[in-house]
Structure 1
Amino acid sequence: MNIEALKSFKQSGDKIACLTAYDASFASVFDTCGIDIILIGDSLGNVIQGGENTLDVSMDDMVYHTQAVTKGAQNALRIADMPYQSYTNAEQTLTNAKRLIMAGAQMVKFEGGCEHEASFKILQDNGIPVCGHLGLQPQSVIEMDDYKVQGRDKQSADKIIKDALALVSWGVKAIVLECVPANLAKQVSQSLSIPTIGIGAGVNCDGQVLVSYDMLGIHVGHVPKFVKNFLIDNGDVKSAVDAFIKAVKDKSFPGEEHSY
């Protein structure tokens, strides 16, 4: 799996299956099962570090976990999150993105749209592949006043569409759409030449991602509507991952009960 293969999914209509991983062991299992993308997510702040949000995750944390995942996964495309306040200006963004690439990431992901134009452009100019992230942005949880579905009204929906089109023009290779209404995610996906990967964004995105702990039913606190436990009906982790991949590919996940 590589950047060129990512393009072919959009062209063929095949769905992209993505899971988060934070260590070599889980990454190896997911890789063996044939997962398309492994996201080294700053969600480790919640599921590994026990934080209420992702804001305390550092660049050193992301580098460490990216190195670990890289040792376990050689086939899946590896995307690493840039953590909170690691891309506040163009030069900082480039320095930190290079650290993640050196650690084994093949692409970096960060949240936001037009407000980060300079950061997107400097990575484009330096040949570093980028995945965008629109809709609910966990790193902006304070500004957004908690975790809420985004894009319900016309103004916010129009901003998501505008940001998505801008990101494409700045060379972004894929965009995660988180917690947006399914009809808006469908509109955005059909408008773009690059893949969208949904989480709480309906079945019409070009792919789906879940936090692996959520997919395995390992929950602490609130369980979002878009989560499905794939372990409960399968005997082991590998079978659960196989079931997740199959459900994404045959479009049986997410169902309406997982969408907004």
Structure 2
Amino acid sequence: MSGEFSFKRVTAPDIAKRKGGAPIVALTAYHAHTARIIDPYVDMLLVGDSLGMVMHGYETTVPVPLELMIMHAQAVVRGSSRSLVVVDMPFGSYEESPSEAFRNAARVMKETGCGAIKIEGGAHMAETIRYLTDRGIPVMSHIGMTPQAVNTIGSFKPRGRFRSEWAAFEEDARAVAEAGAFAVVLEALAELLAARITKQISIPTIGIGASAECDGQILVLEDMLGLSPRVPKFVKEYAQIGEAIETAVKAYANEVRGRVFPSDAYTYPMCDEPAPVTKKPKMTGS
């Protein structure tokens, strides 16, 4: 094969090269419309399994099936054109063995057109990360507070706030970097620890409730827009769209109940009946 080929999208290697450079901007996206809106402004779109809580009403991310992740990822890929799209592998789709992880991750990439996948876990997932990357699947890791492990952790609580915990998280970060992950999400880690890990490893760190020293940041879009009913402490709300929606719905309900809506401006008037068409008598020759 001759000639050069270049991706129109940001790729996993592009993100990896940003270590220590300009901060990486990332947000979650779950459907085509929001992906289209935010795509020009971010480097990476994460189709997170948080969609189970944000869009489908689950209490945790644990019940999310692989098929649901694929469906939402397909929409995000269709709605975007330049950002790297990364898809979360849901709970139960990769933990059993590296070969199981490969089968499911390959399916996700083939059926969605995404550029990478993300799996939770540190040192104990290093073998799986290496297995996937050796076979052409870019992997972003996720350590710290790992939502899929909520049933063993006990709650969505910050991690690494005691120095006695630091060594384990530092080892997790080193292990995933050495295994070939192109980046690692640090979620709800103590600020000093997150900054320390960022300096220790060779791949970009993407913080969420971690540290401004991380190589990039990510938030759940609905959290930052004020649409989520339970917003974590680490989220800065950049808009109060939730309040605007509530105000609009109240106004709509009041107008419907008061028979104000729809007014004439939002209905279609009758048209005059068209004049009947009269046929001219057919002339015959003499």
Given the two structures, how large is their TM-score scaled by the length of structure 1? Answer: 0.86
What SS does structure 1 have at the residue aligned with 2:75? helix
Number of aligned positions between the proteins: 231
1:35 aligns with 2:34: no
**Alpha-carbon separation, structure 1, partners of 2:119 and 2:213:** 22
Deviation at 1:109, TM superposition (A): 0.3
Which ranges in structure 2 are unaligned for 5 or more consecutive residues? 1-9, 245-286
Query: Partner of 2:99 in structure 1?
Result: 91
Indicate yes or no: 2:30 matched with 1:17.
no
Distance in 2 between the 1:201 and 1:91 partners? 32
Q: How much does 1:63 deviate?
A: 0.7
- In 1, distance between residues paired with 2:57 and 2:142? 23
Q: 1:100 is aligned with what amino acid?
A: V
Distance 1:135 1:215 in 2: 21
Which runs of 5 or more structure 1 residues have no equivalent in the other structure?
A: 237-260
Partner of 1:226: 234
1:182 equivalent in structure 2: 191
Letter in 1 for 2:117: V
Report if aligned partners of 2:13, 2:182 keep a CA contact under 8 Å in 1: no
Cross-structure match for 2:134:
125
The one-letter code of the counterpart of 1:14 is A
CA deviation map 1:51-80 (0-9, x unaligned): 111011010011111111000111001100
Distance 1:36 1:119 in 2: 26
**Equivalent residue in structure 2 for 1:60, among 67, 77, 80:** 67
Which of 13, 25, 31 is 1:4 aligned to? 13
Does residue 214 of structure 1 match 2:236? no
Contact 2:94 2:101 in 1 (8 A): yes
Runs (4 or more) in structure 1 with deviation over 6 Å come to: none
Query: 1:6 Cα deviation (Å)?
Result: 1.1
Which structure has the higher relative contact order (CA within 8 Å, separation 6+)? 1
Equivalent residue number for residue 45 of structure 1? 52
- Alpha-carbon separation, structure 1, partners of 2:65 and 2:164: 33
Secondary structure of the equivalent of 2:137?
A: coil
Give CA deviations for 1:136-177 in whole Å, capped at 9, x if unaligned.
Answer: 000000100111111122342111110110111110000000
Q: 1:153 aligns with which of 125, 143, 162?
A: 162
Residue 242 of structure 1: aligned partner: none
Counterpart of 1:251 in structure 2 is none
Using the size of structure 2 for normalisation, the TM-score is: 0.78
Larger radius of gyration: 2
Give the RMSD, CA atoms, in angstroms. 1.4
- Other-structure match for 2:84: 77
Equivalent residue letter for 1:8: K
Counterpart of 2:172 (choices 163, 188, 202) is 163
Q: In structure 1, what is the Cα distance between the partners aligned to 2:208 and 2:131?
A: 27
Q: Measure the CA separation in 2 of the matches of 1:211 and 1:142.
A: 21
Q: Which moved more, 1:175-184 or 1:223-232?
A: 223-232
2:118 to 92, 96, 109: 109
Q: What's the secondary structure of 1:46's corresponding residue?
A: helix
Query: What is the CA–CA distance in structure 2 between the aligned matches of 1:122 and 1:67, rounded to whole Å?
Result: 25
Higher mean Cα deviation, 208-217 or 152-161? 152-161
Alignment-mate amino acid for residue 201 of structure 1? A
CA distance in 2: counterparts of 1:178 and 1:60, whole angstroms = 25
For residue 171 of structure 1, what is the amino acid of its counterpart? G
